[in-house]
Structure 1
Amino acid sequence: MGYIDAHTHITFKEAINEGILNFAIKEWGAPIDKILMTVEQVVRMLDDASIDYVGVMAFPVRKLSGAKEDYALKVINTVKEYPDRFAVIGGVEVNEVTTEETKYWLEKQYEAGISALKIHPPHWWVKPNAYRPEEGGLKQLELVYQFAEDHNLPVYIHTGTSSFTKARNKYGDPILVDDVAVDFPKLTIIMAHIGRPNWVPTAFQLIRIRPNIYGDLSSIPPKRILEYIPRLTEISDKLIYGSDYPGPGVHDIKKNLQDFLQTPIPNETKTKITTETPRKILKPLSKTK
């Protein structure tokens, strides 16, 4: 049984558009051969790294790459011959669509078999708790959380800063996720990046006290993981491994995993983070129906 990388931005030659391609080249700094990979090439790469399946972010980001809600459907269609190797994470850019459009895209993506939904506050310029009356009452966002809770879909919420040109980092504070955890107690929340670099203590505490909040370790350099989270073992049951490949600084998916496996933390903790917990909360396409 192999490992699970629960947070990647793998793109596929068969599904990518010009906006995503240009964004990846400019903002990720990734070599073009890491961006324009065929599905077969990606599968061979995963085999070589002993990775059973990966979470692929396929959520809309109009402001950065022009990707819209149909991108998740394109990715699912692209990887359909390998449903056990990919978990596709979709989403609805809630402050760019109507409530009816939100309902439509949630149903379409769910019918197609998405594994999770993604909210990206710094890239969308929206607070993760913007559905609350005191935060503007954004009905579309409430619909996303309610749909995910009703359909047992985990929701990734980006926390921490983003170095991308159009990102608004004031929206990355993980304390804003606390409202979501309280208002949707049956919703599984995956706090992406655990607030790195400057909000890690806040994210750590929320993961400790809120039973429905988990954290993914993506984009934190594995060799510095205990520098970022010294008390990591205290929340080992609530963490999942992610690489952020091929995002900034992570251009080798196998090396990133091997670096994590070599960190000085207990082996049982590594097993929980890289296999046991992600299998419980993030299902590949073959297991979503």
Structure 2
Amino acid sequence: MGYVDSHVHIWVQEIMSEEMKKKMSSIAQNAENRIYIDNVIKEMDEANLDYVVNIVYPSREMWGSNEEIVIRAINYFRKYSDRFSIVGGIQANHLTVNETKYWIEKQYEAGISGFKIHPPHMWLKPNAYRQDEGGLKQLEILYEFSQDHKVPIIVHTGTSYFPFARNKYSDPIFVDDVSVDFPKLSIILAHAGRPIWVNTAFQLARIRRNIYLDLSSIPPKKVLEYLPRLEEIKDKCLYGSDFPDIGVKGIKENLYEFLQIQISKEAMDKIVQINPKNFFKPLSYTR
């Protein structure tokens, strides 16, 4: 059984709008390094990666993208349907209730494996649906749909270095409300709150049955520094690289470094194979 990388962002040129290309060139330091799909798949083959989870979410302020990019990504990556899982998303604070329902249903029917919200890029709290936090009905609709259809929600936690990011929204504690209010919803805290909220993310994963951690963007050699009690939550952690973000050496090299971490074989197998496959399916999978 091969591995799964549960957190990558393969922004191939073919799925990006002209506005997005301009925004990325002005914001991302490595945007000029175009990603070629054949190179990505070659590296996946060399690393024994069965498939990767490509996270495609809209962010008008950050990337100049809207919900349509998810559909474009699914249509493009369907040519490699056994090698890619797609996570979509909506920017709830930019849509009407009817638009929210439309895009959630359209993305689900097209084959997404989950939805992502990126609070510091979207400028909203994960618990903004609550009346005491603004009563954003659109976010409640997203969570209810995901809970009912048994697809996970990924929430970015931890700081973002991009210039338009608002890091006050990045604290994983806001997800605690979501866990309590939607007890059957699987919630994955991307990046485990790194670097300043790791303890919060770890504790939430310990005490909340439906909260999990994705270890992407943490340098593999530092994972046990951030999470010395990783073995205790081996059933609740998923391997991810966050390729091609700054600091990630590559899909293959990041995985190889992670496989050298001094944890039990049982924990390693769960984190790099079993747990990700329980949550995410490739586009070739039919519900």
Q: Same fold (TM over 0.5)?
A: yes
Counterpart CA distance in 2 for 1:168 and 1:98 is: 23
Task: Tell me what 1:125 maps to.
Answer: 123
Map 1:1-289 onto structure 2 (within 5 A): 1-30=1-30, 32-33=32-33, 35-38=34-37, 40-289=38-287
Shift of 1:13: 3.0
Q: Do the aligned partners of residues 37 and 148 (structure 1) sit closer, same or farther apart at CA in structure 2, a change above 3 Å counting? A: same
Counterpart CA distance in 2 for 1:211 and 1:66 is: 36
Gaps of 5+ in 1: none
Q: Do the aligned partners of residues 107 and 172 (structure 1) sit closer, same or farther apart at CA in structure 2, a change above 3 Å counting? A: same
Counterpart CA distance in 1 for 2:171 and 2:226 is: 16
Q: Assess if the C-alpha contact under 8 Å between 1:89 and 1:116 holds in 2.
A: yes
- Bigger mean CA deviation after superposition, 14-23 or 118-127: 14-23
Counterpart CA distance in 1 for 2:174 and 2:264 is: 32
Q: Do the aligned partners of residues 211 and 153 (structure 1) sit closer, same or farther apart at CA in structure 2, a change above 3 Å counting? A: same
Shift of 1:23: 4.5
Percent of matched pairs sharing the same residue: 54
Gaps of 5+ in 2: none
Shift of 1:161: 0.7
- Quote the RMSD (CA, aligned, Å): 1.4
Q: Assess if the C-alpha contact under 8 Å between 1:7 and 1:55 holds in 2.
A: yes
Counterpart CA distance in 1 for 2:27 and 2:205 is: 30
**Deviations 1:62-95, CA, capped at 9 Å, x for gaps:** 1111111011111110011221111101111000
TM-score, normalising length from structure 1? 0.95
Q: Assess if the C-alpha contact under 8 Å between 1:160 and 1:197 holds in 2.
A: yes
1:81 is paired with a residue whose SS is helix
Shift of 1:36: 3.2
Paired residue type of 1:30: N
Q: Assess if the C-alpha contact under 8 Å between 1:115 and 1:288 holds in 2.
A: no
Counterpart CA distance in 1 for 2:26 and 2:259 is: 30
Shift of 1:274: 0.3
